[in-house]
Amino acid sequence: MADTTVARRYARALLELGIEAGNLDQISTELQRFTGLLHANDEQILGALVHPGLLPDERAGFLDAILAKFPFEPIVANFTRLALEKGRADLIPEINDALQHMADEKFGRVRAVLTTATPISDALREEFRAALAASTGKTVILESAVDDTLLGGVTIAVGDKIYDASVRSRLQGIRQSLINASAAAEA
C-alpha cells in the first residue's frame, strides 16, 4: 500500500510538470517507453538499476548509458535519475501505470483490451472502438489480443469492467445450469 501511495505521488508530480510544460502526452508516452525498456530482456535492466551489489555511482552510470543510447524528454530523463537516486527505481513501472491512468483521465481517454479467438480485421476492430467510444463518451485506446481458448465471441476489458460475450463463458454458464438442475433434481 505504501508503495502504491508513493508511486501515485511521483506520478502526480510528473502529471503536474507535464501540464505546466505543456507536454504531458509526450512525457506519459516516453515514460511508458522507458518502462518498456525496463521490462525488456527479462527485466535485466531494472534488475541492474536496483541491484544491491552495485554501488549507487555504478547504477547511475548504467542509467546514464541507457539515457545516452535511448534519448528521452528531459523531464523523463531527470525523473528516472531522481527515482534511482531516491531508491525508487523499482517503482517506475507502477509510477508509469499511475501516470498513464491520470493522463487518460485528464484527456478523457479510456483504455480497453479486445480479446478474440482469432485475429480480426482492422475494420471490425475500428467498429468495436467506435462502439466503445459511443458508450463511454471517451476516446478509446483499444488493444487487441488473441486467445484461442475463447472458441469464439469476444471479451472486452474496459478499465475494471470486463464484458464477456465469448463462447467459452456461454458454455460454462450452460454447464453450471446443468449442474444446478441436476443437484436440484437429486434433492
Report yes or no: 143 and 113 within 8 Å, Cβ to Cβ.
Answer: yes
Same-domain status, 97 and 171: no
Q: Quick one: cell of 76?
A: 523523463
- The count of structural domains within the chain is 2
Residue 39: the pLDDT is 86
The residue from 54, 88, 105 where one domain ends is 105
pLDDT of residue 40: 82
Altogether, the residues listed in the chain come to a count of 187
Q: How many CB atoms lie within 10 A of CB 92?
A: 23
Mean pLDDT, contiguous 10-residue spans, the chain (187 residues): 87 96 94 92 86 93 93 94 95 96 94 94 95 93 91 88 85 86 81
Same-domain pairing of 101 and 114: no
Instruction: Please identify, among 105, 138, 162, the residue that sits at the C-terminal boundary of a domain.
Output: 105
Verify that 99 and 8 share a domain, yes or no.
yes
51 and 24 in one domain? yes
Q: How far apart are CA 111 and CA 102, in angstroms?
A: 12
Whether 71 and 149 share a structural domain: no
Could you tell me the three cell numbers for 48? 541492474
CATH no. for residue 33? Answer: 1.10.520.20
